């Protein structure tokens, strides 16, 4: 068995194979360049050894269960040949609220595409599926009167189980595309896959136990959040999770609710249920407002609505890193959870497939106070502009890199120093600068001070005495232009924005224009959206945009 840092959902891994459980509601791969990552994209860019991960088969977005990825050319070639020769066997389980089959039978038809659906018509590709009633009475019929059926696809056509079940009179529960009764998910689960191991030649079988009772949104979070290292994440993300305009986060022992109005009775009931589910000590509600600058700190702060009050300061953990939060400091509680994966990238030094971040002078996490490095090389430095409470700085400092945190708020920089101390990092070994970003970028340029990496994650809108109003959509290119002269050749730029109405194509175009105007060249580029616990849908479009650039 291959050894790996624990990633939720991994069933098996060796040199050639990665076998994982895919929850319902998650695409196998990203449907478009700027959509949310599919499970394949999320895995491929997460670990260096998964950089060559290959898709060998797919599961529909609303189908849960076991899925296999290849890690080597040997595995890819062998499994492709086995799929072609029908040497790979899969078993699915489905639920239906119609009368299921009384005995085993096989359906063979020709499938053709019919708009967004598939249908059995002459002239299509042969599709064959075997259906078997579940023999165990314990599982055959649920308490809700639903029937469970085993489906074995003997061919690998798109939607074939869904089409054949519907055409046989028992459409899958939740599969409204094929006549199924509306439900929170499509109740189809890939329970088992068996094949010949590409290297050993021995038969192998992998399974994923079915759990049709688990909520779709809970299953997604369980698949991406490791509770041993992370206890802060988004539980409900607006319309994507069936709650338009309402957002709920777990922050350690507490829950934070956010909406543009006070909690409705329905939201209050759900919040109470969630508090019990996560054994939360208390829950707070924050009213989202565009006029936050005109309100007092107390009025802008989240208000206790359930359970016991949180202390003035409390801790959460993210990717094994500790951060201090507070419900008493106004509109912001101290950390933006949608940047969790970007902080992990700095912490691990792995940005994406074939995109490492190993700056010269990087030292061991175990000796991060040894700034000069083991060989006496000049230490790396990262400049974190608009640092807020220094979340990015703490992550990269844990990895042994020297940081410079720059912000227009002394209060938040002091908060950042406490975050350093929480993680056993000496704040005196790093630099914290109070001031305007544009002003200090100009000062650094005059002093010929350059950095290995620069983090640009500005607020969508801000004001300073020196440079007036900053609006991301209008001024981001100017910000990049100001940063480039203090970025080393071969250095890395992290550029991010949460300007929801700014199309990603325009965001990237502005950055690329600024790079060209600065007579620099983009060597590597990797775009990432918000993490999976902030799911993207038509009703809840993407808002966070981040691009990692290596610039010559």
DSSP letters along 241-302, please? GT-TT-EEEEETTEEEEEESSSPPHHHHHHHHHHHHHTT-SEEEEEE--TTGGGS-HHHHS-
138 CB-near residues (< 8 Å, 6+ apart)? none
- The CATH architecture to which 336-551 belongs is 3-Layer(aba) Sandwich (3.40)
Q: Does domain 10-216 bear CATH number 3.40.367.20? A: no
Token pair of 19, please?
A: 């076998």
**Residues whose CB falls within 8 Å of the CB of residue 136, separated by 6 or more in sequence, listed in order:** none
For residue 351, what is the enclosing H or E element?
Answer: strand 350-352
Quick one: average pLDDT of 406-410?
Answer: 95
Question: What is the rounded CA–CA span in Å between residue 81 and residue 99?
Answer: 37
Give the whole-angstrom CA distance, residue 101 versus residue 215.
27
- Quick: pLDDT tens for 367-405: 333 333 333 344 589 999 999 999 999 999 999 999 999
- Tokens linked to 189: 């689960």
Looking at residue 264, its pLDDT comes to 97
Predicted pLDDT of residue 375: 34
Q: Look at residue 359 in the predicted model and tell me its pLDDT.
A: 65
What pTM, to 2 d.p., does this model score?
Answer: 0.90
3-state helix, strand, coil in the chain (%, to 5): 25, 30, 45
- Two structure tokens written together for 137: 């009475």
Does CATH number 1.10.390.10 belong to domain 225-311?
no
Residue 60 designated active-site: yes
pLDDT at 365: 36
Per-residue pLDDT, 269: 98
Q: What average pLDDT does the chain have?
A: 91
Domain ranges for the chain, please list them. Answer: 10-216, 225-311, 336-551
Q: What is the DSSP string of 73-124?
A: HHHHHHHHHHHHTT--EEEEEEEESS---SS-EEEEEEEEEETTEEEE-TTS
What does the radius of gyration of the chain's CA atoms come to, in whole angstroms? Answer: 26
Is the pLDDT assigned to residue 482 strictly greater than 80? Answer: yes
Q: Going along 381-500, which residue ranges are E strands?
A: 381-385, 402-407, 431-434, 451-456, 461-464, 468-471, 487-497
Q: How far apart are CA 106 and CA 96, in angstroms?
A: 18
Which pLDDT belongs to residue 35?
A: 87
Distance CA 319, CA 425 (A): 16
Catalytic residue among 60, 452, 457, 533: 60
Instruction: Evaluate if residue 338 carries a pLDDT over 80.
Output: yes
Q: What is the pLDDT of residue 497?
A: 97
For the chain, percent of residues with pLDDT exceeding 70? 91
Residue 296's pLDDT is what?
A: 75
Q: pLDDT, tens digit, for every residue of 421-437?
A: 999 999 999 999 999 99
Question: Is-contact 165 158, C-beta < 8 A?
Answer: no
Tokens describing residue 55: 């898709």
Distance of CA 1 to CAs 4, 215, 447, 482, Å?
9, 31, 53, 49
Burial of 245 (0-12, 13-18, 19+ CB in 10 A): middle
The three-point CA angle 83-86-88 to 5° equals: 65
d(CA 46, CA 107) in angstroms, rounded, equals 40
**188: exposed, middle or buried (Cβ count in 10 Å: 0-12, 13-18, 19+):** buried
Is 340 in contact with 233 (CB distance < 8 Å)? Answer: yes
CA angle 348, 351, 354 (to 5 degrees): 115
Measured CA to CA, the distance from residue 149 to residue 170 in angstroms comes to 10
Please report which confidence band the pLDDT of residue 358 belongs to, taking 50, 70 and 90 as the band edges: confident
**pLDDT higher than threshold 60 for residue 362:** no
Quick one: what percent of the chain has pLDDT higher than 90?
83
Closest CA relative to residue 90, chosen from 120, 134, 125, 57: 57
What is the 3 state secondary structure string of 390-403?
CHHHHHHHHCCCEE
pLDDT tens column, 532-548: 999 999 999 999 999 99
Strand partners, 118: 113
């Amino acid at each position: 068995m291959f050894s790996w840092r624990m990633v939720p959902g991994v069933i098996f891994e060796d040199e050639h194979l990665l076998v994982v459980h895919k929850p319902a509601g998650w695409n196998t791969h990203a449907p478009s360049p700027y959509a949310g990552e599919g499970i394949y994209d999320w895995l491929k860019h997460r670990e260096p050894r998964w950089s060559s991960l290959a898709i060998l088969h797919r599961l529909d977005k609303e189908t849960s269960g076991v899925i296999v990825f290849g890690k080597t050319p040997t595995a890819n070639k062998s499994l492709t040949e086995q799929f072609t020769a029908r040497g790979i066997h899969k078993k699915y389980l489905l639920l239906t609220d119609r009368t299921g089959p009384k005995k085993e039978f096989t359906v063979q038809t020709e499938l053709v595409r019919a708009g967004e659906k598939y249908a059995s018509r002459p002239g299509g590709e042969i599709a064959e599926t075997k259906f078997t009633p579940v023999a165990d009475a314990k599982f055959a019929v649920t308490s809700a009167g639903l029937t469970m059926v085993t489906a074995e696809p003997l061919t690998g056509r798109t939607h074939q189980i869904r089409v054949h079940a519907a055409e046989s009179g028992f459409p899958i529960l939740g599969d409204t595309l094929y006549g199924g009764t509306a439900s929170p998910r499509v109740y189809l689960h890939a329970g088992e896959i068996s094949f010949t191991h590409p290297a050993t030649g021995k038969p192998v079988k992998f399974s994923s136990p079915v759990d049709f009772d688990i909520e779709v949104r809970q299953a997604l979070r369980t698949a991406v959040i490791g509770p041993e290292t992370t206890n802060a994440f988004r539980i409900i993300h607006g319309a994507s999770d069936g709650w338009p305009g309402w957002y709920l986060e777990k922050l350690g022992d507490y829950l934070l609710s956010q909406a543009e109005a006070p909690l409705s009775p329905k939201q209050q009931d759900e919040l109470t249920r969630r508090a019990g589910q996560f054994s939360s000590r208390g829950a707070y509600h924050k009213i989202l407002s565009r006029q936050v600058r005109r309100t007092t700190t107390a009025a802008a702060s989240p208000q206790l609505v359930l359970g016991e009050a949180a202390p003035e300061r409390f801790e959460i953990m993210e990717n094994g890193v500790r951060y201090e939060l507070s419900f008493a400091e106004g509109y912001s509680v101290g950390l933006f959870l949608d940047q969790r994966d970007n902080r992990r990238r700095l912490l691990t030094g792995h940005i994406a497939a074939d995109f490492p971040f190993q700056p010269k002078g990087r030292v061991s996490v175990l000796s991060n106070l040894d700034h000069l490095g083991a060989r006496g090389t000049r230490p790396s430095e990262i400049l974190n502009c608009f640092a807020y409470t220094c979340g990015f700085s703490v992550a990269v400092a844990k990895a042994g890199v020297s940081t410079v945190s720059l912000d227009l708020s002394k209060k938040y920089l002091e908060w950042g120093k406490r975050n350093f101390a929480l993680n056993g990092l000496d704040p005196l070994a790093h630099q914290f600068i109070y001031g305007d970003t544009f002003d200090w970028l100009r000062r650094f340029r005059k002093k010929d001070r350059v950095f290995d990496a620069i983090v640009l994650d500005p607020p969508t809108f801000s004001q300073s005495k020196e440079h007036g109003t900053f609006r991301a959509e209008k001024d981001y290119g100017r910000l990049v232009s100001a940063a480039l002269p203090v970025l080393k050749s071969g250095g890395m730029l992290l550029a991010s924005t949460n300007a929801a109405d700014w199309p990603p194509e325009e965001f990237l175009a502005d950055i690329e224009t600024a790079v060209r105007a600065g007579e620099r060249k983009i060597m590597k580029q990797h775009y990432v959206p918000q993490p999976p616990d902030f799911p993207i849908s038509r009703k809840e479009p993407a808002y966070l945009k981040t691009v990692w650039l290596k610039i010559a």
